């Protein structure tokens, strides 16, 4: 997802701050939900829903109790393989009794209520919209499940709403039935995705459809007041085509964009990204769209082994976005983004953390700029270390090997090492696991018009890398290789130094 520009308090953070949260859900070892078949009957006026979820679950045959995350709803019945079983619902956990002695169960949960999280109503220029918003685990407000990024599953949703409402959701639309005064929509997502990327929205949308090639439908669901703004998304097929060539085939059978008045800039819901309603007309819709499209490969299909690996989703989407602009608009467009990616404000330095903590993390408190920009910078450094051929081969292999499966930071390092034949232990120790950032110590000697620099604390991991610094004096930018150690400048004004895509503390 992408943070909304200028918004300091994020949804997840504010939820965490306002209400006591149950502990982060961690699935029991060996549990794997393969498929969710979900039926919801939703009243958009009150958000009240009647739900039925059928889960196909693989698990160790010794498991006798399956904890599913579910919060704030009443459970009517739970069946395992057609038989009603005892359950306990406490502290956001639905504890389902399993018979034991079998490694696969079909679990059906029938539930109802008004969600206290995960489903919301909002307005954009007078138009009402009901939508779901799930990251990191608020999907538990409308769906019982294994709500952890490491357990992606295929998904189908049947959503009934009163007539006069239009609905869009994760997956390919497979039909709409008229039932008395209601409309029953059905979608199917045929490739696994994490449950935080399951979503739906109900409003009066203006729908524009195009295609990528002859086969992939690309649809824009914009709210009526902004229906003319679809032009801002015109490069969407080009972005999908670029990442398909770069990384491997697009995983889903359609790509939709849905305009939603939520707190994020965008959210990479599987096959149906949501973009913030206010982005349209600001010139920021396209870049947010590129970020969310990149996630369809990393985050939404190659999934995180754990929340601590969040940079493999957010840092990857951040860096892949710059790669699209490098391809489409040229190196200067990418360099400008790499400088911004590496730029550190006072606030950034005050909230600096290591990129990947050694222990478990709560995604609500771990969420910050770090997985995005520090993660993106590590990918840029790895590209410089490996060279383009090995780096892009490694990304393609990561996608090919881990599509529909969890990828950890450690597995990613091994894959990069195999592809390049290099030992990257030192690089990961300094740039991924260490809290402190290496320092770029600069010295300006105005009497000689000479700026010099040296890097400290990088353990020689930058040695010999083609890394650039942007040195700006009197509004003039000069690109100088880091390895030159200095530059002579024409003016007397103290210059400003910004690393291009490498995150260094500059003094
Ligand atoms: Zn993102």
- Residues 250, 255, 259, CA angle at the centre, nearest 5°? 145
Q: How far is the CA of 185 from the centre of ligand 1 (A)?
A: 28
**Is-contact 296 250, C-beta < 8 A?**
yes
Question: Rounded CA gap, 406 and 126, in Å?
Answer: 41
Fold of 303-433: Neutral Protease; domain 2 (1.10.390)
Q: Domain boundaries in the chain?
A: 11-57+111-297, 303-433, 439-506
State residue 360's pLDDT score.
86
Checking if the pLDDT of 11 tops 90, the result is no
State residue 390's pLDDT score.
97
Q: How far is the CA of 301 from the centre of ligand 1 (A)?
A: 13
Checking if the pLDDT of 9 tops 60, the result is no
**Is-contact 146 69, C-beta < 8 A?**
yes
Checking if the pLDDT of 21 tops 90, the result is no
Q: How far is the CA of 268 from the centre of ligand 1 (A)?
A: 7
Confidence band of 217 (pLDDT split at 50, 70, 90): very high
- Span 329-383, pLDDT tens digits: 999 999 999 999 999 999 999 999 999 998 889 999 889 999 999 999 999 999 9
Between 3.40.50.10860, 3.30.2010.30, 3.40.50.920, 3.30.465.10, what CATH number should domain 11-57+111-297 receive? 3.30.2010.30
Q: How far is the CA of 160 from the centre of ligand 1 (A)?
A: 30
State residue 8's pLDDT score.
33
Confidence band of 16 (pLDDT split at 50, 70, 90): very low
Q: How far is the CA of 493 from the centre of ligand 1 (A)?
A: 39
| Mean pLDDT in residue range 176-190 | 96
Q: How many CB atoms lie within 10 A of CB 52?
A: 17
Q: How far is the CA of 172 from the centre of ligand 1 (A)?
A: 22
Q: How far is the CA of 330 from the centre of ligand 1 (A)?
A: 23
State residue 30's pLDDT score.
96
Q: How far is the CA of 430 from the centre of ligand 1 (A)?
A: 24
State residue 415's pLDDT score.
98
Residue 107 CA: distances (Å) to CA of 33, 53, 70, 104, 110: 10, 8, 14, 10, 10
Q: How far is the CA of 267 from the centre of ligand 1 (A)?
A: 7
Confidence band of 182 (pLDDT split at 50, 70, 90): very high
Which residues have C-beta under 5 Å from ligand 1, the single-atom ion?
1-2, 314, 317
| Mean pLDDT in residue range 280-291 | 95
State residue 359's pLDDT score.
86
Q: How far is the CA of 284 from the centre of ligand 1 (A)?
A: 14
Confidence band of 215 (pLDDT split at 50, 70, 90): confident
Confidence band of 19 (pLDDT split at 50, 70, 90): very low
Checking if the pLDDT of 7 tops 70, the result is no
| Mean pLDDT in residue range 444-456 | 96
Q: How far is the CA of 291 from the centre of ligand 1 (A)?
A: 6
Q: How far is the CA of 447 from the centre of ligand 1 (A)?
A: 47
State residue 462's pLDDT score.
97
Percent of the chain with pLDDT over 70: 96
Q: How far is the CA of 129 from the centre of ligand 1 (A)?
A: 23
| Mean pLDDT in residue range 282-290 | 96
| Mean pLDDT in residue range 455-484 | 97
Q: How many CB atoms lie within 10 A of CB 481?
A: 12
Helix (H) or strand (E) holding 391: helix 388-402
Please name which of 199, 19, 22, 17 lies closest in space to residue 94, comparing C-alpha atoms. Answer: 22
Mean pLDDT for the chain? Answer: 94
Confidence band of 4 (pLDDT split at 50, 70, 90): low
State residue 235's pLDDT score.
97
**Coil, helix or strand at residue 309:** helix
Q: How far is the CA of 290 from the centre of ligand 1 (A)?
A: 10
State residue 213's pLDDT score.
87
Look up residue 422 and give its two tokens.
């290099």
- Span 34-71, pLDDT tens digits: 999 999 999 999 999 999 999 999 999 999 999 999 99
């Amino acid at each position: 997802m992408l943070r909304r520009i200028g918004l300091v308090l994020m949804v997840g953070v504010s939820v965490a701050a306002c209400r006591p949260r149950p502990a982060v859900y961690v699935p029991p070892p060996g549990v794997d939900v393969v498929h969710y078949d979900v039926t919801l009957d939703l009243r958009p006026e009150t958000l009240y829903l009647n739900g039925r979820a059928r889960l196909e679950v693989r698990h160790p045959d010794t498991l006798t109790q399956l904890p599913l995350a579910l919060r704030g709803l009443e459970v009517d019945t739970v069946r395992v393989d057609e038989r009603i079983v005892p359950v306990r619902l406490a502290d956001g956990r639905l504890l389902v009794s399993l018979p034991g002695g079998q490694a696969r169960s079909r679990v059906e949960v029938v539930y109802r209520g008004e969600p206290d999280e995960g489903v919301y109503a909002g307005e954009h220029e007078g138009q009402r919209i009901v939508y779901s918003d799930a990251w990191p685990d608020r999907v538990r407000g409308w769906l019982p499940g294994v709500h952890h990024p490491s357990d992606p599953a295929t998904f189908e949703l049947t959503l009934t709403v009163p007539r006069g409402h239009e609905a869009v959701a994760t997956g390919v639309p497979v039909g709409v039935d008229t039932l008395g005064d209601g409309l029953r929509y059905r979608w199917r997502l045929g490739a696994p995705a994490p449950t935080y990327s399951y979503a739906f929205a109900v409003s009066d949308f203006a729908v524009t459809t195009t295609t990528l090639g002859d086969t992939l439908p690309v649809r824009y669901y914009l709210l009526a007041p902004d229906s003319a703004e679809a032009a801002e998304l015109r490069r969407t097929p080009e972005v999908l085509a670029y990442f398909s060539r770069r990384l491997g085939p697009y995983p889903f059978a359609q790509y939709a964009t849905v305009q939603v008045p939520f707190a994020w800039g965008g959210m990479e819901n599987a096959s149906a990204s949501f973009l913030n309603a206010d982005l349209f007309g600001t010139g920021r819709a396209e870049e947010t769209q590129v970020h969310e499209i990149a996630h369809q490969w990393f985050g939404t299909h190659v999934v995180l082994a754990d929340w601590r690996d969040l940079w493999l989703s957010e840092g990857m989407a951040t860096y892949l976005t710059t790669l699209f602009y490098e391809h489409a608009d040229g190196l200067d467009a990418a360099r400008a983004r790499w400088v911004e990616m590496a730029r550190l404000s006072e606030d950034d330095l005050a909230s600096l953390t290591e990129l990947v903590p050694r222990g478990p993390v709560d995604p609500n408190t771990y969420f910050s700029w770090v997985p995005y920009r520090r993660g993106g910078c590590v990918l840029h450094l790895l590209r410089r270390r490996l060279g383009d051929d090995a780096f892009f081969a490694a990304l393609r292999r990561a996608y090919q090997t881990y599509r529909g499966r969890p990828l950890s930071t450690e597995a990613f390092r091994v894959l990069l090492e195999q592809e390049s034949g290099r030992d990257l232990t030192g690089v990961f120790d300094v740039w991924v696991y260490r809290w402190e950032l290496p320092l770029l110590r600069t010295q300006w000697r105005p009497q000689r018009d000479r700026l010099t620099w040296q890097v400290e604390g990088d353990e020689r991991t930058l040695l010999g890398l083609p890394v650039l610094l942007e040195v700006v004096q009197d509004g003039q930018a000069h690109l100088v290789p880091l390895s030159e150690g200095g530059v002579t400048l024409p003016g007397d004004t103290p210059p400003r130094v910004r690393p291009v895509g490498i995150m260094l503390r500059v003094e």
